[in-house]
Every structure is written in structure tokens, then in C-alpha cells.
């Protein structure tokens, strides 16, 4: 049994991870600031579902902003029982980074540095930290080949991507200076039940069921490596349980490794929902990229991890949840 700090615990991936950790017997200390980037009621509902299924005392939630460094460090110091950290808290969303840039530096730079410093001050009690990065660090790619961890990542297409790359660089520095074991996971287009309302599959489902048109950017010529949330959680846990043998810093892609055309996703949703989409083709949005494609051979090699959920199955789970949650 471990005692694990999970940041972003009320978020989409964070809540799923907390559920999985609790199910296997771990104790979880959660952090989230419940910010209004999207409806906080959804975050509250995720936490309510978590606490309703958790063993008494196994899950504790703290409402803290990662950018409040003093409060964050005080919390980490007050819980010397923490032995690992899953740092998923961040300001997500490529497009909103054009509207609210300082929210991204606060959460993704200052907040990430706060976690690193809290781990350093634990003086070895925290044996491993796994943090969320993003496929967005690869920038715009047009050659159709898979993204590999050794590829150049010095031309991010959005401020969001730049702040997440900054987190990777800060992590590398802290490992070099203080020998803190760190693992960064570059997530590829995560989807599933309890998801984020700003993601295409959620927006499309809501619009289609209400008879509204859906907007398909780049005239629909977009390919995404859609990765089901349970596969992502399995990968996070595999990494969390296996710190770098040399105490160093490592980076992994974690995706489905099978990019799909956006119109295919829409077609699957049409079948699952029983309605036809009203499609509106739009130009590419600033900061967006035409394709993502994960090479996950390193995850397979080091952890025996590989994705198991195809897009049709995963969207089926999402639609089932949607009908149960929204009626």
C-alpha cells in the first residue's frame, strides 16, 4: 500500500487515477483548486463519486492552488507519509492559452516548480514523482510519421505546449542537481467518461444531441491519437510503481499509437447516438496541430504497457456514461 499525492485530483484523468489507486488499496491525498476553466460542478461530481466509493480515511481532498507556493509546500511538509507523487494538475487547453496566458504560467510553470521543490525538501521520503506532459510539445508535424521521445521539441505551436515543455526542462534540472527520480508522460488526446467539456468528442456529443452544428477545424483534415482514459491510468500507475533505476529523469509517450481521422470519430458518434451531425468546416485554429501519433515502444519496453481500447469501444463507454449522467 502506498500513500500518494495526486494533484489535479478533481480533474478528468486525476479523478480516474484516484479511483484506480484507491481500488488497489493505496491511500490518496488529493489537491485541486476547482478553477472555473470549465464548470466546477463537474469536478465536484467527480470528487463526490470518489468519496462515495473510498474506504474511510483513504482519500483526502485539499482545495489548494498549485500556484500558491507557500500553501503547497506547507501541505507537502505536513504529510511526511507521502511516498510518491502523481502530478497531473495543470491549466489545460491549447486554444484558451491564447485568451488567458498568465493562467498557464501560474499553473504549469510556477505550480510545477512548487511540486519539484516540495519533493526536493522531502529529502528522499518521496521516492518517485510522475508528472503529466503533453504531445503538444512536438509542435506541428506534417510527415505522417510517429512522434518519438528523441524528436526535437523546440518549436511548440502554443503557449500551453511551451509551458509544459518548460516543466520537462525544469524536471531535468532538478534531477541533475538533486537526483530526484522523475518520470514525465506525454499524453496523447485522452478521452472517456467524466471527460473535459472543451474536448471535441464532448462538444460534438452535446451539439449533436441538441441539433446544433459541429465545427470541424482544418476542414476536418485532422488526425488524433485518441487514447482511452483507462489505458492512460494504467500507464501512469505502471510508471509510478517503477522509478528510474538510476534515480534520473525520463520521458515517455503514452498514446493509442493509432491515429484516427476526425470524420471517423464523428461517424462513430453518429452511430452511437443515433443522430446525424450537422458539419461546419472551418480553417485551422491558431495553436492547433494537424496530427498526433505516438510511438509507445519505450512504454512497452520498460513497463510492459500497451493500449487495449479502440476508438469505437472507448466512445461507446463515453456515450453510456453521458446518458447515465445527463439523462
24's CB contacts (< 8 A; 6+ apart) are: none
pLDDT of residue 120: 97
pLDDT of residue 168: 98
Enclosing H/E stretch for 46: helix 40-53
Domain limits for position 247: 3-191+228-255+293-308
Please check the confidence at residue 3 and state whether its pLDDT lies above 80. yes
Q: 103 lies in a domain?
A: yes
**Residue 114 belongs to domain with CATH number:** 3.40.50.720
Q: 270 lies in a domain?
A: no
Q: 156 lies in a domain?
A: yes
pLDDT of residue 1: 77
When pLDDT is averaged across residues 139-152 and rounded to a whole number, the result is 87
What are the pLDDT digits (tens) for 172-230? 999 999 999 999 999 999 999 999 999 999 999 999 999 999 998 877 788 999 999 99
pLDDT band of 142, cuts 50, 70, 90:
low
What are the pLDDT digits (tens) for 85-103? 999 999 998 888 989 999 9
pLDDT of residue 143: 73
pLDDT of residue 53: 74
Q: 211 lies in a domain?
A: no
Please check the confidence at residue 144 and state whether its pLDDT lies above 80. no
pLDDT band of 291, cuts 50, 70, 90:
confident
What are the pLDDT digits (tens) for 268-284? 999 999 999 999 887 87
Between strands 27-32 and 3-7, the pairing is: parallel
Q: 313 lies in a domain?
A: no
CB 92 within 8 A of CB 37: yes
What radius of gyration, in Å, describes the C-alpha atoms of the chain? Answer: 19
**Residue entry with cell 525544469:** 170
Please check the confidence at residue 57 and state whether its pLDDT lies above 90. no
Q: Which residues are catalytic?
A: 160
pLDDT of residue 284: 74
Please check the confidence at residue 26 and state whether its pLDDT lies above 80. yes
Q: 323 lies in a domain?
A: no
- Burial class from Cβ neighbours inside 10 Å (0-12, 13-18, 19+) for residue 210 reads exposed
Residues in the chain: 327
DSSP β-bridge partners for residue 5:
29, 85
Total structural domains within the chain: 1
3-state secondary structure (DSSP) of residue 293 = coil
pLDDT of residue 290: 81
Percent of the chain at pLDDT > 70 equals 99
249's CB contacts (< 8 A; 6+ apart) are: 171, 172, 174, 175, 176, 180, 181, 182, 183, 184
pLDDT band of 247, cuts 50, 70, 90:
confident
Phi, psi of 212 (to 5 degrees): -95, 155
DSSP string, 146-212: PB-TTS-----SSHHHHHHHHHHHHHHHHHHHH---EEEEEE--EE-TT--TTSHHHHHHHHHHTT-
Q: 318 lies in a domain?
A: no
Residue 245 or residue 254, greater confidence: 254
pLDDT of residue 289: 77
Query: Quick one: which of 137, 167, 161 has its CA closest to 149?
Result: 137
Q: 121 lies in a domain?
A: yes
pLDDT band of 287, cuts 50, 70, 90:
low
pLDDT of residue 283: 82
Amino acid at each position: 500500500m502506498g500513500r500518494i499525492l495526486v494533484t489535479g485530483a478533481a480533474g478528468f484523468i486525476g479523478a480516474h487515477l484516484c479511483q484506480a489507486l484507491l481500488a488497489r488499496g493505496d491511500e490518496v491525498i488529493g489537491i485541486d483548486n476547482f478553477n472555473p476553466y470549465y464548470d466546477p460542478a463537474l469536478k465536484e461530481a467527480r470528487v463526490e463519486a470518489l468519496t462515495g466509493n473510498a474506504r474511510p480515511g483513504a482519500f483526502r481532498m485539499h482545495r489548494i492552488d498549485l500556484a500558491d507556493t507557500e500553501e503547497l509546500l506547507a501541505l507537502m511538509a505536513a504529510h511526511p507519509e507521502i511516498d510518491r507523487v502523481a502530478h497531473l494538475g495543470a491549466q489545460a487547453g491549447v486554444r484558451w492559452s491564447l485568451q488567458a496566458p498568465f493562467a498557464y504560467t501560474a499553473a504549469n510553470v510556477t505550480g510545477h516548480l512548487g511540486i519539484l521543490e516540495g519533493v526536493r525538501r522531502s529529502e528522499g521520503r518521496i521516492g518517485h514523482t510522475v508528472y503529466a506532459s503533453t504531445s503538444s510539445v512536438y509542435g506541428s508535424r506534417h510527415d505522417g510519421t510517429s512522434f518519438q521521445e528523441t524528436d526535437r521539441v523546440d518549436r511548440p505551436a502554443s503557449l500551453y505546449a511551451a509551458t509544459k515543455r518548460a516543466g520537462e526542462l525544469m524536471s531535468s534540472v532538478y534531477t541533475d542537481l538533486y537526483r530526484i527520480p522523475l518520470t514525465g508522460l506525454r499524453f496523447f488526446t485522452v478521452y472517456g467518461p467524466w471527460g473535459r467539456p472543451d474536448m471535441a468528442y464532448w462538444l460534438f456529443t452535446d451539439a449533436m444531441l441538441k441539433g446544433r452544428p459541429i465545427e470541424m477545424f482544418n476542414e476536418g483534415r485532422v488526425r488524433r491519437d485518441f487514447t482511452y482514459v483507462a489505458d492512460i491510468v494504467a500507464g501512469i500507475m505502471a510508471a509510478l510503481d517503477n522509478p528510474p533505476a538510476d534515480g534520473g529523469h525520463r520521458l515517455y509517450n503514452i498514446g493509442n499509437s493509432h491515429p484516427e481521422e476526425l470524420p471517423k470519430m464523428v461517424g462513430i458518434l453518429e452511430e452511437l447516438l443515433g443522430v446525424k451531425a450537422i458539419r461546419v468546416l472551418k480553417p485551422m485554429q491558431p495553436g492547433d496541430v494537424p496530427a498526433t501519433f505516438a510511438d509507445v515502444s519505450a512504454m512497452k519496453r520498460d513497463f510492459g504497457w500497451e493500449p487495449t481500447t479502440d476508438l469505437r469501444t472507448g466512445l461507446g463507454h463515453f456515450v453510456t456514461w453521458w446518458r447515465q449522467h445527463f439523462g
